[in-house]
Amino acid sequence: MSEAGGCWGCGSPVPQRAPWSLVAAATALCLVSATSVWTAGAAPMSREEKQKLGNQVLEMFDHAYGNYMEHAYPADELMPLTCRGRVRGQEPSRGDVDDALGKFSLTLIDSLDTLVVLNKTKEFEDAVRKVLRDVNLDNDVVVSVFETNIRVLGGLLGGHSLAIMLKEKGEYMQWYNDELLQMAKQLGYKLLPAFNTTSGLPYPRINLKFGIRKPEARTGTETDTCTACAGTLILEFAALSRFTGATIFEEYARKALDFLWEKRQRSSNLVGVTINIHTGDWVRKDSGVGAGIDSYYEYLLKAYVLLGDDSFLERFNTHYDAIMRYISQPPLLLDVHIHKPMLNARTWMDALLAFFPGLQVLKGDIRPAIETHEMLYQVIKKHNFLPEAFTTDFRVHWAQHPLRPEFAESTYFLYKATGDPYYLEVGKTLIENLNKYARVPCGFAAMKDVRTGSHEDRMDSFFLAEMFKYLYLLFADKEDIIFDIEDYIFTTEAHLLPLWLSTTNQSISKKNTTSDYTELDDSNFDWTCPNTQILFPNDPLYAQSIREPLKNVVDKSCPRGIIRVEESFRSGAKPPLRARDFMATNPEHLEILKKMGVSLIHLKDGRVQLVQHAIQAASSIDAEDGLRFMQEMIELSSQQQKEQQLPPRAVQIVSHPFFGRVVLTAGPAQFGLDLSKHKETRGFVASSKPYNGCSELTNPEAVMGKIALIQRGQCMFAEKARNIQNAGAIGGIVIDDNEGSSSDTAPLFQMAGDGKDTDDIKIPMLFLFSKEGSIILDAVREYEEVEVLLSDKAKDRDSEMENEEQPSSENDSQNQSAEEITSSSQDVDLVDQESPEESSLNSHPESLSPTDMDNAASIDPSEQNSDPTENHETTSLDGECTDLDNQLQEQSETEEDSNPNVSWGKKVQPIDSILADWNEDIEAFEMMEKDEL
């Protein structure tokens, strides 16, 4: 491809060895800012507004970093709700997530180069001194090799890169003598024993002090690792080698990459999510661009940019071709099976894939980047943050959000590539949402549940390493940054490595690379690295024109249509029958079922069983529709089961100085006022006496008109509720007596009744684990008057709340309570006769009543023996939803009403919508937690 075609550098088959200037130029070419060529579309943002937003980012960073330094340092992370440091071993284990914590002041190291990007040079100098003085890399602690590499090794190298840049400028860091690099080298040697496998793939964990082998190491028995875990080392390891001249690091990282390349599934050119580090067998054969694989692809392309080695580009392009062929269904990116890449492996996407549009910009494939980014943005607008996982029809699949930076990263790169001010507005929304929903008095707290707005006592180090960097750079002009950012490449943790490394100590490159690369035909480079300088002057509305057809893709989601049904729409045929629309009494539906090879069996117990025989279908397309219908029916049926469970509730502290900013996840009760159906309950808290609430209260005057705090244990939940209600309480919060328990580590449950009629209990009751409960108890100790809001979803913490008159009169509260009591009703069909306080949301499936909806079916998936989905079509999203449209429109309007951006106190989300969203998939949760943070 010729230069005139706008495609040279990072995509075209470049000369054998690209000199660094060419590599840098190529990178710059892909990312060239097109601001100057913008002429229409989203309104341009003034320099003043950009500066204002940049300053806001600086203030937010100060709030996060300042609180970490003040309340957590030298601990690895800040716990922003309890305002203290997270020290491994001192907090209940959160499983694999804790493997990032090595007692090495993780957040400080991860923040080093952010300080320089944000022009906080003085603070950087101080931070480096602290790292050199305080950080110990020799702790007896087992850490993740992947996380330690990207966050700590990357953090030290990023810090070193900018330290030497500053030193050369002559003002700051004049005393610096490569000390960070020496630490990085020490850490590099500590990680090397992990590579002691026959495959060369690293063990997933290592003991910083004892390595792998020694018995004291307590690790080294693992057999599997994730692809990203083994394939995300080359940038840091090669930089370490090139900075120090010690070639071994780059060699090891290359060897691991070579092995993964060898093991790619040869016909699809895809890789699985997890691999056996000894045999090289794929353990999980599903493949996507999110959790478990993401940064493997990222590092292939960036290794080419940083190291100028063509083999990495060839590998990347081969994988990219496969990704675009099988996984990309614009705007979706859906996992498939590596051996059967036409078969989707999931019906949901994870939040980590939000980095992919950014990588596509670096690759130069702008169109799908714009499409996927737009889809993600709409999901964010719906839920304020990107949930950890969401379904193909954009409902929450896993509701957590640990303040991940990937979407901000892609927004930044898309702005650089298009110059479209739309992306500045996107960034502004991200800033607003962070301040509105995640900011707490002591930092920023991860979202435990984007639906309720509740928090988790967690602020991951990547929030400082990445989020603030990308947001600041988005609004910064060249002169706002004290060095040229385009001389550097971002690692996956957004650490900066200088591009000049490509020409330093390069003798080691390619020593271990295999020569077995497939000949690639030119089509592989068709959409490579378009020169934005040529592209955008011709069509300044390019990005907008791509977004336009997608503008309602989430709200008007036509779920089945998204994936591959538009062909039948286009040909004028009716859209296929969807499981949720199916009615066993509708003769037209029965006819469609027959055509799809699906037969209906009426079971003796009144249920209906559906069985599909593809061979009996009228055509292969009908068979395919039938299979999809069955899959939908299985999902629908399991979702209906889950929907009968009660979703979590929120306890929001609304009084000074919290002003609604701290939101605690609470378990509901199977009795009392149902907060999802009624107005929230607001009131000051008071501890009951006796604290366990198991007998008549001796302090009714203290709890009258208030929300009573009661300790769990010694009697039934319902008994406690009756006792506080009799004393005049307007609500109750039961706090777990099991010290240290937390919703971070224990599954939330609903409080069961006592097996008797509980209709007499009219007040709302919520349950808090001990850690969340102690946040309220601590607040009471410190501020005495603590007011909380019990609801199904946190309400806006906007100025309205801060300015709101504190309703201190007990009468007000009582009036509110009276209003609620009159409208209270019981609507819980999960009453359970079990022993007191043992009911678990997940452990009593037997208490679910059999589904009796008109479209419910008992399905035998084992009968699904056909595989007609091989004809995989991709989407064009301008297809209409036809008769579904109105219905979905209605639904989206209802959901709009439920947007928490509506004003304080308004009913925020209908129960149906919450129930539909309450689809947390524990298995997926565990799988993803395991794969990657």
Please report, as ranges, the residues that interact with ligand DMJ according to CB under 6 A: 150, 295, 352, 404-406, 462, 492-493, 933
Q: Which is nearer to ligand DMJ, 284 or 682 (CB)?
A: 284
What are the structure tokens assigned to 138, written together?
């020799």
CB of 832 to ligand DMJ, least distance (A): 38
Q: Which of 91, 96, 147, 895 is catalytic?
A: 147
| CA pseudo-torsion sign 710, 713, 714, 720 | positive
CB of 734 to ligand DMJ, least distance (A): 34
Q: Which is nearer to ligand DMJ, 404 or 762 (CB)?
A: 404
Q: Which is nearer to ligand DMJ, 146 or 542 (CB)?
A: 146
147 catalytically annotated: yes
Q: Which of 77, 123, 125, 294 is catalytic?
A: 294
CB of 150 to ligand DMJ, least distance (A): 6
CB of 314 to ligand DMJ, least distance (A): 23
Q: Which of 309, 365, 388, 772 is catalytic?
A: 388
Q: Which is nearer to ligand DMJ, 491 or 909 (CB)?
A: 491
| CA pseudo-torsion sign 269, 275, 278, 281 | negative
294 catalytically annotated: yes
CB of 462 to ligand DMJ, least distance (A): 4
Q: Which is nearer to ligand DMJ, 96 or 792 (CB)?
A: 96
Helix spans in 477-556 (H)? 532-538, 542-547
Burial of 39 (0-12, 13-18, 19+ CB in 10 A): exposed
DSSP state of 204: S
CB of 358 to ligand DMJ, least distance (A): 11
CB of 156 to ligand DMJ, least distance (A): 15
CB of 448 to ligand DMJ, least distance (A): 16
Q: Which of 250, 314, 406, 420 is catalytic?
A: 406
What are the structure tokens assigned to 246, written together?
């010690």
Q: Which is nearer to ligand DMJ, 151 or 793 (CB)?
A: 151
Question: What is the rounded distance in angstroms from the CA atom of residue 417 to the CA atom of residue 42?
Answer: 15
Question: What is the rounded distance in angstroms from the CA atom of residue 520 to the CA atom of residue 413?
Answer: 28
CB of 367 to ligand DMJ, least distance (A): 24
Question: What is the rounded distance in angstroms from the CA atom of residue 81 to the CA atom of residue 430?
Answer: 21
Q: Which is nearer to ligand DMJ, 113 or 674 (CB)?
A: 113
Q: Which is nearer to ligand DMJ, 309 or 406 (CB)?
A: 406
What are the structure tokens assigned to 677, written together?
């159906």
What are the structure tokens assigned to 925, written together?
């949760």
CA atoms within 13 A on the CB side of 360: 29
| CA pseudo-torsion sign 584, 590, 594, 595 | negative
Q: Which is nearer to ligand DMJ, 11 or 290 (CB)?
A: 290
- Cβ–Cβ < 8 Å for 114, 465: yes
Query: 745 in helix, strand or coil?
Result: coil
388 catalytically annotated: yes
Strand ranges in 736-838 using DSSP code E only, listed in sequence order: 765-768, 787-791
String of DSSP letters for 379-415: HHHHHSS--SEEETT--EEE--B----HHHHHHHHHH
Question: What is the rounded distance in angstroms from the CA atom of residue 491 to the CA atom of residue 362?
Answer: 13
- What Cα–Cα distance (Å) separates residue 202 from each residue in 241, 252, 275, 316, 352? 18, 9, 11, 21, 22
Burial of 436 (0-12, 13-18, 19+ CB in 10 A): middle
Paired with 225 in beta bridges are: 275
Q: What are the catalytic residues?
A: 147, 294, 388, 406
